[in-house]
Amino acid sequence: MSHKKILLIPLLFFAFLSTKSILADDTAASVNATPNNHPMGYYISPISTSTTTSIPKASTTSYRTGAIKVEALSYHLLSSANTPANLSSTDTSLPSKDAVDVSSYQSWMTQNDFNALKKAGVKTVVVKLTESTTYTNPYAKSEIQMAQNAGLNIAVYHFADFGNPASEASYFVKVAQSLGLPTRTTMIEDAENTSYTGNWTTASQTFAKTVRAAGYPNVKFYTSQSWATSNKMNATTLGAKNMWIAQYLYGKPSNNNLQNMQYGAWQYSSQMYFTGMSTSSPLDVSIDYSNLFNDNSAISYVYRVYNPNSGEHFYTENSYEAQQLDKTGWNLEGVGWSASTSTSSSPVYRLYNPNGGYHFYTMSSYEKNSLVKSGWRYEGISFRSAGSTPIYRAYNPHNGMHNYTTNAYEQNSLVKAGWKNEGIAFYSE
């Protein structure tokens, strides 16, 4: 995240520090982060790869993070290789921009901002859900919704305090379930809190075991490069390809000199400025080496859009189609459910009634063919059915429309209002 510790460096140590990596947990002072809400990368500091000795020049630099302006005392060495660079999403020399992470500190982001991330080539948004056993990101639901609306993959993380690893894991899962996140979602432990003095590897094993036992098998680990190489977070035990490594190099990273390729992903900067954003505020950015964030790549999202004029609910896997309808007066209600992308999964056919002006969805080829013979227009496979979550179908005898939902309460409410319960239409992941 863009809220980091600000390093206040005594003037007497300029020459020494120009050749030395600075550790955030040694001398850093907390800025903006609250005691129970730390953004990812809060304890991560730049790592010098240069031994160039140069005369430092002090200056004051302004960093804007959402609505909060932070004045940081920074020290610009004459060699640009000795300072982390502000990066632009239009710079093609950088490593790929596969993932960004957000928390409540990015509450300023709008739907257009998430659309801009998608346009810039971002594939995944990693959303903070929880910290300890008491904090839940109040913006997680809207951030997930907007990312999904933009057609972005979703992963989530828990900032570990580890008073009790199993309890924190259970709390993380409980919030994920409350938000309706599918079990294929990548669940990430953020391991960087220096206040925990126990065995991080053992605690992480307990955390992962608890999350997996609760039905979320895809558990990954975020930590600093120094913790991984020192075995504080043991890569052999936890699996190097399961690890997302944070290392912010001085200077500008290059796609011709990639680092940490033995791990699953590398968070290479906290200072990426994306074009087309509503606020000029940097975001963390990562390159994904081994599909770390996309264990749910076999899942797509089915968007639900409502026409307030006709009363029709429309369902589509195409995020662009959903957003275009939203712009023309329909209401994009978000993700209705998740669907399989596997061609071996059962297809759900989409048909259009040119007389009534509404759509119908079915897994039955017989039903599809019968409607086509009756004058309906076949529009192809809309999405695919798989998984164990039922999607209920209800019929409105007054206008001929159907409603599809995973929500049993919604289904029962419609039936009480006079709709006909037609049972389970298909399934969601």
Q: Closest Cα partner for 285 from 96, 157, 15? A: 96
Which of 178-187, 377-386, 415-424 is the most confident on average? 415-424
Top pLDDT among 256 and 49 is at 256
Cβ atoms of 289 and 261 closer than 8 Å: yes
Residue with tokens 């003095």: 197
Cβ atoms of 54 and 92 closer than 8 Å: no
**This model's pTM is above 0.75:** no
Query: Tens of pLDDT along 248-287?
Result: 988 899 999 999 999 999 999 999 999 999 999 999 999 9
| The pLDDT value given to residue 266 | 97
Taking the CA atoms of residue 385, residue 391, residue 394 and residue 400 in that order, the dihedral angle to the nearest 10 degrees is: -30
Residues 273 and 252: their CA atoms lie apart, in Å, by 13
| The pLDDT value given to residue 9 | 34
Amino acid at position 71, single letter: E
Top pLDDT among 3 and 258 is at 258
| The pLDDT value given to residue 82 | 58
Query: Tens of pLDDT along 92-105?
Result: 999 999 999 999 99
Percent of the chain exceeding pLDDT 90 equals 67
Neighbours of 229 (CB within 10 A): 13
Residues 289 and 291: their CA atoms lie apart, in Å, by 6
pLDDT > 60? residue 144: yes
Residues 25 and 197: their CA atoms lie apart, in Å, by 13
Could you tell me the pLDDT band of residue 215, with boundaries at 50, 70 and 90?
Answer: confident
E strand or H helix at 333: strand 331-340
| The pLDDT value given to residue 343 | 78
Could you tell me the pLDDT band of residue 46, with boundaries at 50, 70 and 90?
Answer: low
Cβ atoms of 42 and 191 closer than 8 Å: no
Neighbours of 415 (CB within 10 A): 15
Compute the mean pLDDT over every residue in the chain, rounded to the nearest whole number.
83
Residues 371 and 349: their CA atoms lie apart, in Å, by 11
Q: What is the mean pLDDT of residues 1-23?
A: 35
In the chain, the domains with their CATH numbers are 11-80 (no CATH), 87-288 (3.20.20.80), 299-428 (no CATH)
Percent of the chain exceeding pLDDT 70 equals 82
Residues 353 and 366: their CA atoms lie apart, in Å, by 17
In terms of Cβ atoms closer than 10 Å to its own Cβ (0-12, 13-18, 19+), residue 44 is buried
| The pLDDT value given to residue 137 | 97
